Amino acid sequence: MKTPDLSLSDLGSYFPDDFTPEQRAKAQTIFLKELAASVHKFYRGKTVTMPKAGIYGFNWFNVYYTPGVSMVSTSIRDNNDASFDLSNRGNLVAVVSDSTRVLGDGDVTPPGGLGVMEGKAFLMKYLGGVDGVALCINSYNKAGRHDPNKIIDFVRMLEPSFGAVNLEDISQPNCFKVLDTLREECDIPVWHDDAQGTASVTLAGLINALRVVGKDLNEVKIVLLGAGAANSTAARLLLADGADPDKMVVFDSKGGLHKGRDDVKADAAYYRKWEICEATNPKRLNTEEEALKGADVIIAASRPGPGTIKPEWIQSMGPKSIVFACANPVPEIYPYAAKEAGAYVVATGRGDFPNQVNNSIGFPGILKGALLVRARKITDEMAIAAAHAVADFADKKLGISPEYIMPTMQETEVFAVEAADVAMQAIKDGVARVNLTWDEVYKTTLADINEARSIIDLLQKNDFIKAPGLDMLEAARDKAVAAVK
């Protein structure tokens, strides 16, 4: 039986009309989880390796393998950069994780992250025309602790096979050491999507949210709830793009970050957090209540809710307040509740609510742009360029509003625009191996995305990718309704 189009914007129609907004929001979360479990079992994962070279008789194996391939080996031996032209390396990303901070579920054991990493590779291909390989690794040392050096060594060893590395779901403080070490020591981009990717799209969303409310980044008071990889990096990018450090307050689980936080200063592993302590919150505010009085923006990437952000906090904020509740899988406050409390623009990390601020709108285009110019790293300036590309695309192409501050994944062109802007910034920053024009990157990206989608469509039409049955959707819906009632 053919599965109907599952339009996320219409999920509410699957549930009883008498459900309250809170019941509907809870039901949507349960429904998506139940359906995910069924569909992943049906497909046994989401990705597969397929040849892209043709077979025109069995002698072609002598070309693709021995003896002909010897010429490829010696050519790369004499010039390692030839590997980008003579293999798939130039369009191949390793998605590396030790699965210690997967979505809102925390440490799920090394293989527990495979669903997310396969999902990341799936999105890379469909949204950016980039090939990805899920690599969940065991980072335990002999003492039974997660050792960042094991991740660093692993990535160093795999570097010759990939054009870039996407780090994912690595807990702090290990994530900071891993990223900062590898960014300097590797000769290919090493990108931490939970940090740089989330920070980039957060900046993009805020640029347009501020346009909607008629405020400037350098004038607004910003409160960031959560000081993990995402918000620590978001704070850095926001400051680099013009936010006022004196009007920024960042909270971790123990209170506001400021120069009086000796506990942070004493732990060298949290050096990124200490940088925020030194740069922001000169008044040394320590509670969310006092920090949010009159604030213009709250950006939360903290504990999944609902209830993490209290309605009364939003009520105390300034006029036309902006609320980003980006915890997954459940936002810190549901959008309807934030609106009821007075928020003017509300965003979450989920695609079944308006204004999805999620790294899925960022990393496919960012990585594609970096790969096409064979960048040696992805600089903060490249991430900021991506943010402005995304924000400007939504503003100029379709027009922004309180319910639309970000492009959606359905807007294919945004990834090509983003890739081109990132590539141009890489050239400007001096980290690109090759120079291409903006149009060359844009056209190549769009062609690769369309090719990937055409292949998937062809496989679906010929039933090589089989559609899950309607019974899976109905079973997931029934479980969600029963759980909420």
Question: Rounded to an integer, what is the distance from CA 24 to the centroid of its chain?
Answer: 26
Active-site hit among 120, 221, 377, 479: 120
Q: Tell the residue number behind the tokens 């039933």, with chain if given.
A: 463
Angle at 128 between CA 328 and CA 372, to 5 degrees: 130
Secondary structure percentages of the chain, helix, strand, coil, to 5 = 55, 10, 35
- Say how far apart CA 214 and CA 66 lie, in whole Å: 64
- List 33, 41, 65, 397, catalytic entry: 65
Q: Which of 376, 442, 357, 373 is nearest to 191 (CA)?
A: 376
- Dist CA 7 CA 352 (whole Å): 9
Cβ pair 401, 469 in contact under 8 A: no
> Are 291 and 309 in contact, with CB atoms under 8 Å apart?
no
Can you say whether residue 191 is alpha, beta or left, with left for phi > 0 and alpha for psi between -120 and 50 degrees? beta
Residue positions counted in the chain: 485
Find where tokens 């969600």 sit.
480
56 labelled catalytic: no
For the beta sheet containing 131-136, the strands, ordered from the edge strand earlier in sequence to the opposite edge, are 131-136, 92-97, 164-167, 190-192
Cα–Cα distances in angstroms (integers) from residue 36 to residues 46, 116, 355, 477, in the given order: 11, 11, 22, 12
**Quick check: is 120 catalytic?**
yes
Using DSSP's 3-state secondary structure scheme, residue 324 falls into strand
Q: Which residues are catalytic?
A: 65, 120
